[in-house]
């Protein structure tokens, strides 16, 4: 992540350079023949420069087929029994993590001797042969849009990253998968595909980044038609940037990291950074109402979109202008936002962009206990001075974060760490088993950042918070990206787990955290889990009227015959507990099929009826038949 | 929680008891009172003292809301109301002090050793309680038969090094100057008996209780029955406090809470004859310090032993599982008081009944309880047959012992928690039981009878036998003895209640048709639901339980269509019917009174004296068999049932609470109780 530079002179220099880059970009653009008429035409397949983009059509070339993320990146225990993070992509890559083994053994009762390895390769025979709609395939062929019936391609698009999905893959169990994958290159391709799908009664399931954790990508087993996975990954261009209005028009298949990188090249950013941004796509964000870590400055996806184009069986839905706000009846964007692929495919989005922040600074605060931490976050929200990101981890997560500290390079650093710990626990009297930490990220103009920082630390001090340094903060955010890899490591050693989230009014935050954690622990015990589970939470977003809470839950399943079933029962109970404590069904993960059963209670029967009638009008044939949401 | 299974009561597993007085008799009371006390606390306890608690209550959102609301409604200044709230809290709050508890520990050790042979406690229950206290906030729910109860509870918890409870006590104790303060310092907090619509009082009170629970300050103890049961029957539960303690769970402010029913059984109740007099209309003496000292006389008597059974902790969470949708609290700030939904009302009510039943089930029954039941039935039976004077109500010791053994076996089959010393010869068990209650029975020439004549003689005054006693006075003094015996018989009622209702239903039903018997059962159950602990809505379950028990003992044959009493079952069924008969008769008499005697502007207040007068007349004229019908408890319950059924209504007449009697309906209820009208008609009459 771009970091702070010291001294105002170099700042000025940097800004000047940035401007230059932007202008240069301006000048260059017309020369790029391909983009001159971009919005109307599809790019030719040959001219596509693949090395710039993260996601190839054959995802398996760079990503794991049965776990999270890049193939070259994973946690493992080396011969010495030390945890190591492989690859070169992350700050933690190539490092030894000495504390992880003890933490895993201590927290889960896991043991390096007890391995539960995954099936190494996908055997094509485990995949059912595709149900092919010949007429549809013939017509698709004539359009020249690339498609595939390859087993690997199909399996890759048959799942998201729910525990049960990944667990099944690791065991080599493959259920219903799409019968065909198709890669449109532009909006018009999508229009053609949807028309053909309607004509031949084919089921379409849009696929963006594949990071769903709501069973949204699971093929409905009862679906008898040919299922076509519509992979938007090749629709990944920024079509234009409008610097006067600070907007960018982007194809919806672009993944977060590409979008940010490309905009950064022009000196801009969207500031939308969901934890999955390496792999999740713009279209997916729109379809699930995504939320980014820095929403305090930039807003959530619904605040960021100006214009959306979606292809439905009834045709294309879009607004006629780009006015920043309209009073024209219910906002049609809100039929699209969160529609989870049930109504159509989002193809192009106009988004707000911002100049890249001049200055970024991480920070962290240690609180004597979680209660004080929550009180502080509430006050920060009340004063509306939340930094770009502010997150509060509970004690268990704090310890977890500590376990993930890479080997320190010098004795001096470890000596300093020792001193800090001594100061906090002995001098300040914090209880090691109660204290918790908030991580902060400030962004903007340097002077304002420093001012802002002071304001936040002053509030924190009122709640007994002690500043605990930039390092802790930065590490906290880095963990966001590596934690998903960690689940794969756990699964190698009989540990399964997952995260889930909710949003809840301020006055219930503490209650919901305590009760959900306690419920998880009790349910695990009742269901015969032999080891105490990890049941932990953090407050990840603040709002005027409430907060977003994120739970992690994992346990050692040795001795259980049906670990996934137990896992699902516990998660189900935890969700019931969330709802009983005034939490929402989801803050940003969406409903998918995993949480459908609670939709009616969540939005009322009338609400369900409204949603249904929209679906019935837009897609009477149920072409977009992933059966999410309703 | 373990759902109490009624299928086979014989299988009910209960813990063993340990006598705690034994150690007291062998070691120093002073050292005991001064010993190191380090109880296990709630794992998430918020450390605070009594004054911090008060601060938390006064600053609570709920109280602020109510004060502002009342201020708007009445125009009183909010500050004024705040002062009032503060004063209420001062009047209410406990200030638990270890030193006072130590003082009580010392004094009570002395007292208990004098009064009781033993105090037996199930130590496994104590261990469960300790665990429960550690895990979640705890509510202790002891049965209430004596003033002794809450001192005893605190004494036991101190003895076992458990967290001392804070106890909800009636305001009447506060009247006892010095004692009131002592009790306050040993953890009692005082609640006014009635505070009608006083919103501020309610807010302070409920917030105070909730705060103590949520912070894990101490286990909260209160009596579900609301007051001491004068009859030894469990009283139908009062829901106010239970509602309050359940609130933090329902609103998600605590993860769970443990409710611990505690059954305290006295072999002989200290207040025995006091209660009987009270039920007969001698007003209850106001609690006063001097009155307590006058009670010194009791110190010289033998009160047998006490059994205290700490029941299985009941998790509120498991109670509520599937019964309450907690989402109903999502749409309003939780500190705004609001009326409970019907769902919650019925949940709390249902839970309360289950808890009282849990108390009942673990009440220890002594052989005397069975003897009292037999002697009473014998008394009335022979009385009815007009046996010649001297023989009246007498039974030989051998007969009594034989009957007692029969009843012992029957009650065990029904799951009674009976403490019958199996290794002692039965005759010894019987005679030692009788000797402990020598005030109530008389043994003469190997024959046993209730000491009613003795009572008559005492009423007349032994010194002046020539001054004749009015028949009424004689009757009342007999009644004291009978009601005392009744209170022991009542201890066993819960064991026999369901089979007895079935037996009476068979008796009153016009045929053996199962449906008809069920209707009759259901009618009786409904009629008596103010009298006994009968969970609302459990009619079918109770019926099945009753059938099961009677079938198990071979007294009944139940087919798809019919319910038939077997020849060998006649004795059981007769015993059971006789057990319930006084209540049936009593309710009929109350009905008759309301139809025949009650004036148009009879008020609720005048009801008991008037009906008592009516009953005395009937008894003296020999037109009523059961003296125990004189119990005001029965009369009030009957009235409550009639009010509930709508046969009587409370209206604003000349005076508050005038009773308006629907004579047709009351009449038909009376006939149905007497078996003169089939149940269906009564139902129709009610509609």
Enclosing domain of residue A86? 59-108
Residues B199 and B329 in one domain: yes
Average pLDDT over residues A518-535: 95
pLDDT of residue A15: 57
Number of helices followed by number of strands (H, E) in chain A: 20, 21
The CA-based dihedral angle spanning residues B97, B101, B103, B106, taken in that order and rounded to the nearest 10 degrees: -160
Q: What is the CA radius of gyration of chain A?
A: 24
Residues B296 and B404 in one domain: no
pLDDT of residue B676: 76
Residue A583 tokens read as: 């939490």
Residues B587 and B658 in one domain: yes
Q: Measured between alpha carbons, how far is residue B243 from residues A101, A187, B347 in Å?
A: 49, 61, 10
Q: Measured between alpha carbons, how far is residue B604 from residues A522, B236, B618, B634, B649 in Å?
A: 51, 20, 22, 15, 10
pLDDT of residue A48: 45
Nearest CB neighbour to A515, from listed B255, B327, B334: B255
pLDDT of residue A26: 45
Residues B302 and B379 in one domain: no
Q: Which of B416, B450, B484 is the last residue of a domain?
A: B450
Strand order in the sheet with B441-444: B395-396, B447-450, B441-444
Q: Measured between alpha carbons, how far is residue B247 from residues B115, B213, B324, B331 in Å?
A: 40, 10, 12, 16
Residues B442 and B508 in one domain: no
Residues A210 and A188 in one domain: yes
pLDDT of residue A269: 96
Q: How far apart are CA B94 and CA B102, in angstroms?
A: 16
Residues B126 and B62 in one domain: yes
CATH number at residue B351: 3.40.1130.10
The answer, for B256 touching chain A at a CB cutoff of 8 Å, is yes
Residues B322 and B445 in one domain: no
Taking only residues 585 to 604 of chain A, the set having a beta carbon closer than 8 angstroms to any beta carbon of chain B reads 601
Domain membership of residue B488 (yes or no) is: no
- Catalytic residue from among A362, A494, A550, A567: A550
The answer, for A230 touching chain B at a CB cutoff of 8 Å, is no
For every residue of B630-683, DSSP letters joined together read: G-HHHHHHHHHHHHHHTSEEEE-SSSTTEEEE-HHHHHHHHHHHTTSS-HHHHH
pLDDT at position B511 over 80: yes
A34-43, A311-320, A348-357: lowest mean pLDDT where? A34-43
**Strand residue runs (E) in A445-533:** 466-467, 495-505
pLDDT of residue B598: 80
> How far apart are the CA of B538 and the nearest CA of chain A, in angstroms?
28
pLDDT at position B358 over 80: yes
Query: How many separate domains does chain A show?
Result: 4
pLDDT of residue A242: 97
Chain A residues with CB inside 8 Å of B252's CB? 508, 511-512, 515, 580-582
Enclosing domain of residue B433? 367-450
Domain membership of residue A119 (yes or no) is: no
Give exposure, A81-104, as e/b (b: 16+ Cβ within 10 Å).
Answer: eebbbbeebbebbebebebbbebb
Residues B277 and B397 in one domain: no
Average pLDDT over residues B5-17: 66
CATH number at residue A320: 3.30.465.10
Q: Which residue has the higher pLDDT, B560 or A330?
A: A330
Residue A539 tokens read as: 């407050």
Per-residue three-class SS string for B339-379: CCCHHHHHHHHHHHHHHHHHHHHCCCECHHHHHHHHHHHHH
Residues B288 and B376 in one domain: no
pLDDT of residue B556: 93
> How far apart are the CA of A576 and the nearest CA of chain B, in angstroms?
10
Domain membership of residue A197 (yes or no) is: yes
**Number of C-beta neighbours around residue A111 at 10 A:** 13
Annotated binding residues of A, as ranges?
Answer: 206-212, 288-291, 340-346, 487
Count CB pairs under 8 A between chains A and B: 25
Quote the longest CA-to-CA distance of chain A: 76
Domain membership of residue A362 (yes or no) is: no
Residue B485 tokens read as: 């015996």
User: Using the beta-carbon criterion (under 8 Å), do B256 and A518 form an inter-chain contact?
Assistant: yes
> How far apart are the CA of B600 and the nearest CA of chain A, in angstroms?
53
pLDDT of residue A6: 44
Residues A228 and A152 in one domain: yes
Q: Which of A355, A374, A397 is the last residue of a domain?
A: A355
Residue B329 tokens read as: 């609290």
Average pLDDT over residues B620-631: 92
Average pLDDT over residues B251-273: 93
pLDDT at position B328 over 70: yes
pLDDT of residue B292: 53
pLDDT of residue B470: 83
Domain membership of residue A115 (yes or no) is: no
A436: confidence class by pLDDT, cuts 50, 70, 90: very high
pLDDT 10s digits, B275-323: 988 899 865 545 555 555 555 566 678 889 999 999 999 999 999 999 9
The answer, for B65 touching chain A at a CB cutoff of 8 Å, is no
CA A522 to chain centre: 29
Taking only residues 224 to 253 of chain B, the set having a beta carbon closer than 8 angstroms to any beta carbon of chain A reads 252-253
Residues B374 and B430 in one domain: yes
CATH number at residue A131: 3.30.43.10
> How far apart are the CA of B326 and the nearest CA of chain A, in angstroms?
5
Q: How many residues does chain B have?
A: 687
Residues B220 and B296 in one domain: yes
Q: Which of B311, B337, B361 is the last residue of a domain?
A: B361
Annotated binding residues of A for substrate, as ranges?
Answer: 487
Residues A204 and A137 in one domain: yes
pLDDT at position A24 over 60: no
Domain membership of residue B217 (yes or no) is: yes
Residues B529 and B384 in one domain: no
User: Side-chain half-sphere of B179: how many Cα atoms within 13 Å?
Assistant: 16
Q: Closest Cα to residue B532, out of B493, B484, B506?
A: B493
pLDDT of residue B653: 67
Long-range contacts of B69-72 (CB under 8 A, 24+ apart): B69/B199, B70/B199, B70/B200
pLDDT of residue A420: 74
Residue A550: active-site member = yes
A206: left (phi over 0), alpha (psi -120 to 50) or beta: beta
Nearest CB neighbour to B327, from listed A507, A512, A580: A580
Cβ within 8 Å of residue A125, ≥6 positions away: none
Chain A residues with CB inside 8 Å of B255's CB? 514-515, 518-519
Q: How far apart are CA B76 and CA B84, in angstroms?
A: 11
pLDDT of residue A408: 73
Residues A102 and A154 in one domain: no
> How far apart are the CA of A523 and the nearest CA of chain B, in angstroms?
12
pLDDT of residue B298: 61
Q: Closest Cα to residue A148, out of A188, A177, A186?
A: A177
Domain membership of residue A46 (yes or no) is: no
pLDDT of residue B456: 58
pLDDT at position A108 over 70: yes
Domain membership of residue B7 (yes or no) is: no
pLDDT of residue B270: 85
User: Using the beta-carbon criterion (under 8 Å), do B252 and A518 form an inter-chain contact?
Assistant: no
| For testing contact with chain B, the best of A502, A513, A515, A516 (most B CBs within 10 A) | A515
Return the bridge partners of A96, or none: A84
Chain A residues with CB inside 8 Å of B326's CB? 580-581
Residues A247 and A207 in one domain: no
Q: Closest Cα to residue B350, out of B323, B313, B385, B314?
A: B323
Domain membership of residue B475 (yes or no) is: no
Per-residue three-class SS string for B521-579: HHHHHHHCCCCCCCCCCCHHHHHHHHHHHHHHCCCEEECCCEEEECCCCHHHHHHHHHH
pLDDT of residue B674: 85
Q: Which of B361, B381, B414 is the last residue of a domain?
A: B361
Query: How many separate domains does chain B show?
Result: 3
pTM of the model: 0.89
For every residue of A245-272, DSSP letters joined together read: TTEEEEETT-BHHHHHHHHHHTTEE---
Residues A146 and A191 in one domain: yes
pLDDT at position B663 over 60: yes
Average pLDDT over residues B346-364: 95
The answer, for A582 touching chain B at a CB cutoff of 8 Å, is yes
The answer, for B330 touching chain A at a CB cutoff of 8 Å, is yes
Domain membership of residue A595 (yes or no) is: no
Burial of B581 (0-12, 13-18, 19+ CB in 10 A): middle
CB A110 within 8 A of CB A495: yes
Chain B residues with CB inside 8 Å of A582's CB? 252, 327, 329-330
pLDDT 10s digits, B204-238: 999 999 999 999 999 999 999 998 999 999 999 99
| For testing contact with chain A, the best of B2, B62, B330 (most A CBs within 10 A) | B330
Mean predicted lDDT score pLDDT of chain A = 90
Q: Closest Cα to residue A497, out of A245, A127, A163, A268?
A: A163
pLDDT of residue A40: 46
**Number of C-beta neighbours around residue B467 at 10 A:** 8
Chain A residues with CB inside 8 Å of B253's CB? 511
Could you tell me what percent of chain B has a pLDDT over 90? 67
**Number of C-beta neighbours around residue B412 at 10 A:** 15
Mean predicted lDDT score pLDDT of chain B = 88
pLDDT of residue A43: 58
Q: How many residues does chain A have?
A: 630
């Amino acid at each position: 992540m771009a970091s702070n530079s010291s001294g105002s002179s170099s700042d000025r220099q940097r800004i000047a350079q940035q401007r230059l880059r932007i202008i240069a970009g301006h000048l260059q653009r017309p020369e790029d023949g391909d983009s001159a008429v971009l919005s109307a035409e599809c790019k030719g397949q040959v001219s596509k420069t693949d090395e710039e983009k993260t996601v190839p059509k054959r995802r398996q070339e760079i990503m794991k087929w049965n776990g999270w993320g890049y193939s070259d990146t994973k946690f493992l225990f080396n011969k010495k029994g030390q945890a190591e993070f492989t690859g070169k992509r992350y700050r933690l890559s190539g490092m030894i993590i000495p504390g992880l083994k003890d933490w895993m053994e201590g927290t889960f009762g896991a043991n390096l001797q007890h391995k539960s390895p995954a099936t190494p390769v996908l055997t094509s025979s485990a995949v059912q042969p595709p149900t092919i709609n010949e007429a549809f395939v013939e017509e698709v062929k004539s359009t020249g849009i690339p498609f595939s019936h390859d087993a690997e391609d199909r399996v890759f698009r048959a799942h998201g990253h729910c525990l049960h999905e990944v667990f099944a893959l690791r065991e080599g169990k493959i259920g219903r998968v799409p019968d065909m994958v198709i890669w449109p290159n532009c909006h018009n391709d999508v229009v053609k595909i949807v028309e053909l799908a309607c004509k031949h009664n084919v089921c379409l399931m849009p696929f963006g980044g594949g990071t769903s954790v709501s069973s949204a990508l699971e093929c409905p087993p009862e679906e008898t038609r040919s299922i076509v996975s519509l992979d938007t990954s090749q629709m990944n261009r920024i079509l234009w940037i409008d610097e006067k209005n600070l907007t960018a028009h982007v194809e919806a298949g672009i993944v977060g990291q590409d979008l940010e990188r490309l905009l950064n090249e022009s000196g801009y950013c969207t500031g939308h950074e969901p934890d999955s941004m390496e792999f999740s796509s713009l279209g997916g964000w729109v379809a699930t109402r995504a939320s980014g870590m820095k929403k305090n400055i930039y807003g959530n996806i619904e605040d960021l979109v100006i214009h959306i184009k979606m292809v439905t069986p009834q045709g294309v839905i879009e607004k006629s202008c780009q006015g920043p706000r309209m009073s024209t009846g219910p906002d049609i964007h809100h039929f699209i936002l969160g529609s989870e692929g049930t109504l159509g495919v989002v193809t192009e989005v106009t988004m707000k962009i911002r100049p890249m922040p001049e200055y970024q600074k991480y920070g962290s605060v240690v609180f004597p206990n979680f209660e004080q931490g929550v009180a502080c976050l509430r006050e920060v929200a009340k004063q509306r001075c939340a930094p770009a990101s502010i997150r509060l981890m509970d004690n268990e997560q704090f310890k977890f974060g500590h376990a993930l500290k890479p080997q320190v390079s010098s004795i001096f650093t470890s000596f300093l760490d020792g001193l800090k710990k001594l100061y906090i626990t002995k001098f300040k009297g914090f209880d090691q088993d109660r204290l918790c930490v908030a991580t902060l990220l400030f962004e903007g103009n340097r002077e304002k950042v420093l001012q802002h920082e002071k304001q936040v630390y002053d509030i924190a001090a009122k709640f007994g918070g002690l500043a605990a340094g930039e390092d802790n903060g930065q590490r906290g955010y880095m963990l966001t990206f590596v934690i998903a890899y960690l689940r794969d490591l756990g699964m190698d050693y009989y540990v399964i787990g997952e995260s889930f989230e909710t949003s809840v009014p301020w006055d219930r935050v503490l209650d919901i955290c305590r009760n959900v954690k306690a419920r998880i622990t009790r349910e695990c015990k009742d269901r015969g889990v032999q080891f105490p589970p990890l049941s932990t939470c953090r407050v990840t977003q603040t709002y005027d009227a409430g907060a977003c809470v994120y739970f992690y839950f994992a346990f050692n399943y040795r001795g259980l015959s049906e670990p996934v079933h137990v896992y699902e029962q516990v998660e189900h109970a935890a969700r019931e507990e969330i709802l009983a404590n005034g939490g929402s069904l989801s803050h940003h993960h969406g409903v998918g099929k995993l949480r459908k059963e609670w939709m009616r209670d969540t939005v009322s029967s009338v609400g369900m009826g409204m949603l249904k009638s929209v679906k019935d009008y837009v897609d009477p044939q149920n072409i977009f038949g992933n059966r999410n949401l309703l | 929680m373990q759902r109490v299974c009624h299928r086979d009561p014989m299988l009910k597993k209960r813990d063993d008891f340990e006598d705690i007085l034994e150690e007291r008799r062998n070691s120093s009371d002073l050292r005991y009172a001064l010993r190191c006390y380090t109880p296990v606390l709630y794992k998430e306890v918020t450390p605070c003292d009594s004054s911090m608690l008060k601060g938390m209550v006064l600053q609570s959102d709920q109280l602020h809301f109510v004060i502002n609301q009342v201020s708007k409604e009445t125009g009183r200044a909010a500050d004024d109301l705040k002062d009032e709230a503060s004063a209420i809290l001062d009047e209410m709050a406990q200030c638990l002090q270890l030193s006072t508890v130590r003082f009580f520990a010392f004094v009570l050790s002395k007292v208990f050793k004098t009064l009781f042979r033993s105090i037996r406690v199930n130590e496994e229950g104590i261990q469960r309680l300790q665990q429960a206290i550690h895990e979640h906030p705890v509510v202790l729910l002891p049965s209430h038969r004596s003033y002794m109860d809450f001192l005893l509870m605190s004494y036991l918890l101190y003895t076992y090094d458990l967290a001392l409870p804070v106890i909800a006590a009636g305001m009447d104790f506060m009247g006892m100057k010095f004692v009131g303060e002592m009790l306050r310092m040993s953890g009692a907090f005082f609640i006014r008996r009635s505070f009608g619509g006083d919103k501020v009082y309610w807010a302070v009170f409920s917030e105070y209780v909730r705060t103590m629970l949520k912070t894990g300050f101490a286990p909260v103890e209160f009596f579900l029955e609301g007051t001491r049961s004068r009859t030894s029957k469990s009283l139908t539960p009062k829901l106010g406090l239970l509602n309050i303690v359940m609130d933090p769970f329902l609103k998600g402010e605590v993860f769970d809470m443990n409710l611990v029913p505690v059954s305290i059984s006295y072999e002989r109740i200290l207040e025995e004859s006091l209660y009987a007099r009270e039920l007969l209309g001698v007003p209850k003496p106001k609690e006063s310090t001097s009155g307590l000292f006058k009670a010194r006389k009791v110190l010289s008597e033998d009160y047998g032993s006490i059994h205290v059974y700490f029941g299985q902790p009941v998790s509120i969470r498991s109670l509520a599982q599937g019964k309450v949708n907690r989402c109903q609290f999502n749409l309003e700030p939780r500190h705004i008081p609001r009326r409970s939904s019907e769902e919650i009302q019925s949940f709390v009510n249902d839970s309360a009944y289950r808890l009282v039943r849990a108390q009942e089930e673990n009440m220890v029954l002594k052989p005397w309880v069975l003897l009292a039941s037999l002697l009473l039935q014998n008394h009335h039976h022979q009385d009815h047959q007009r046996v010649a004077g001297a023989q009246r109500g007498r039974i030989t010791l051998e007969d009594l012992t034989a009957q007692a053994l029969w009843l012992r076996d029957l009650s065990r089959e029904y799951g009674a928690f009976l403490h019958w010393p199996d290794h002692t010869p039965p005759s010894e068990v019987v005679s030692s039981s009788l000797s402990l209650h020598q005030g109530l029975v008389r043994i003469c020439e190997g024959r046993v009878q209730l000491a009613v004549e003795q009572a008559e003689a005492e009423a007349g005054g032994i010194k002046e036998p020539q001054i004749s006693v009015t028949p009424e006075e004689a009757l009342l003094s007999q009644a004291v003895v009978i009601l005392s015996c009744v209170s022991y018989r009542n201890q066993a009622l819960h064991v026999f209640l369901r089979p007895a209702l079935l037996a009476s239903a068979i008796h009153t039903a016009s045929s053996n048709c199962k449906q008809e018997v069920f209707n009759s059962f259901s009618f009786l159950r409904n009629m008596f639901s103010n009298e006994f602990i009968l969970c609302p809505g459990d009619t079918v379950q109770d019926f099945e339980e009753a059938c099961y028990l009677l079938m198990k003992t071979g007294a009944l044959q139940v087919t798809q269509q019919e319910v038939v009493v077997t020849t060998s079952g006649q004795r059981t069924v007769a015993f059971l019917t006789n057990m319930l008969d006084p209540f049936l008769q009593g309710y009929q008499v109350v009905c008759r009174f309301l139809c025949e005697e009650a004036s148009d502007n009879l008020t609720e207040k005048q009801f008991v004296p008037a009906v008592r007068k009516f009953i005395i007349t009937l008894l003296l004229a020999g037109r009523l068999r059961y003296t125990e019908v004189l119990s005001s408890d029965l009369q009030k319950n009957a009235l409550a049932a009639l009010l509930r059924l709508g046969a009587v209504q409370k209206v604003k007449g000349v005076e508050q609470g005038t009773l308006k009697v629907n004579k047709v309906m009351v009449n038909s209820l009376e006939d149905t109780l007497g078996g003169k009208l089939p149940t269906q008609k009564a139902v129709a009459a009610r509609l």
